[in-house]
Homo-oligomer: A and B are copies of this chain.
Amino acid sequence: MRLYLLPQTFKGEGTVEIRGKDFNYLTRSLRLREGQKLTGRDRDGNLWDLCIEKINRDSCLLSAVPAEKAEERTDALPQAAPLKPIVLYQCLPKGRKADDIIKKATEAGVRDIVLVNSRNCVANLEGKEMSRLGRYDAMVTEAIQQSGSMVPTKVYGVIDLKDIPDDFEKRSAGSQKLGLVLHQSRIENQNNDLLQCTKGFDGTVAVVVGPEGGLEESECQLLLDRGFKAVLLKTNILRCETASIYAIGAIQTILESACQ
């Protein structure tokens, strides 16, 4: 574990009691013992020096001290500056594919993963949306811990494709926005080069990725009308679970590059 994600109830107290799944995780999976230290992060992104003070039968007590030099504590965290915000609008794929996409996107530090219903979606979360989102949250927590991500990734959904807002950056109004939609066929005057439109951009990038059957032309058009740019990836036809992490890799690499 690179970083232990503290429970949502933790509000900066000097000690925190851990029960249930997290208790099992720390004491059984990681086999931490009394006196061992680890680094934690709270839900606001602050880092904490933690120490296992006491292990009981079904709980353990951690002491928590604000970490002073964050960058020295979290070993091997490569990035110095915070990653630029990326929002993934992912049209809902079938179960295991969604898991795969959410894990990989979280590792890469995508800030928001918004699940979207589009015309060709085969999957349907109706009636099980809450339990599924709970499962995704657990996966996100695990992926954040594994990857040492400083981005508080969240999964939202399910929204309809027509409800993808043109002002998808709600959190920091006024900041620059760039909306991209991946499509598979050529659209007249809409073959934007991913490198060209992302290079040097400093703001929030949103990317819409279709479901197994792709986006329909009218759906693409609706997004273009809202200011999204259509991007034709210069590769073969990718499955949706490949397309999202492929595109995130490309977008993030270009956004974070020092070479402008």
Kindly supply a per-residue 1/0 record for chain A positions 84-111, scoring 1 wherever the CB is within 8 Å of any chain B CB and 0 otherwise.
0000000000000000100110011100
Chain B proximity mask over A32-46: 1 for CB below 8 Å, otherwise 0: 000000000000000
Please report which residues of chain A, range 190-238, place their CB below 8 angstroms from some CB of chain B when the two chains form the complex.
193-196, 199, 232-238
Does A76 have its Cβ within 8 Å of any Cβ on chain B? yes
Contacts of A259 in B (CB 8 A): 193, 195-196, 199
- A125 at interface (Cβ–Cβ under 8 A)? no
How many A residues have CB within 8 A of the partner chain? 49
The answer to whether B235 and A195 touch across the interface, beta carbons within 8 angstroms, is: no
CA distance A15 to B241 in the complex (A): 37
* Residue in B76, B185, B186 whose CB lies within 8 Å of A237: B76
Q: Do residues B257 and A235 form an inter-chain contact, with CB atoms below 8 A?
A: no
A24 within 8 A of B: no
- Decide yes or no whether A247 CB sits under 8 A from chain B: yes
From B107, B151, B239, A107 is in contact (CB under 8 Å) with B239
**Most chain-B CB neighbours within 10 Å: which of A79, A146, A234?**
A234
Q: Any chain B CB within 8 A of the CB of A156?
A: no
Beta-carbon contact of A257 and B234 below 8 Å: yes
Contacts of A193 in B (CB 8 A): 257-259
CA distance in complex: A103, B258 (Å) = 31
Known A2-B237, A242-B104; judge A78-B256 contact (CB<8 A). Answer: no
Chain B residues lying within 8 Å of A78, measured Cβ to Cβ, are 184-186, 232-237
Q: Which of B79, B109, B196, B235 contacts A108 (CB 8 A)?
A: B235
Please, which residues of chain B bring their CB within 8 A of the CB of A146? 237, 239
Q: A76-B184, A79-B235, A250-B252 are in contact. List 8 more A-B contacts (CB 8 A).
A: A78-B184, A78-B234, A107-B235, A107-B238, A109-B235, A147-B237, A234-B256, A235-B252
**A contacts, CB < 8 Å to B:** 2, 76-79, 83, 100, 103-104, 107-109, 146-151, 184-186, 193-196, 199, 232-239, 241-242, 245-250, 252-254, 256-259
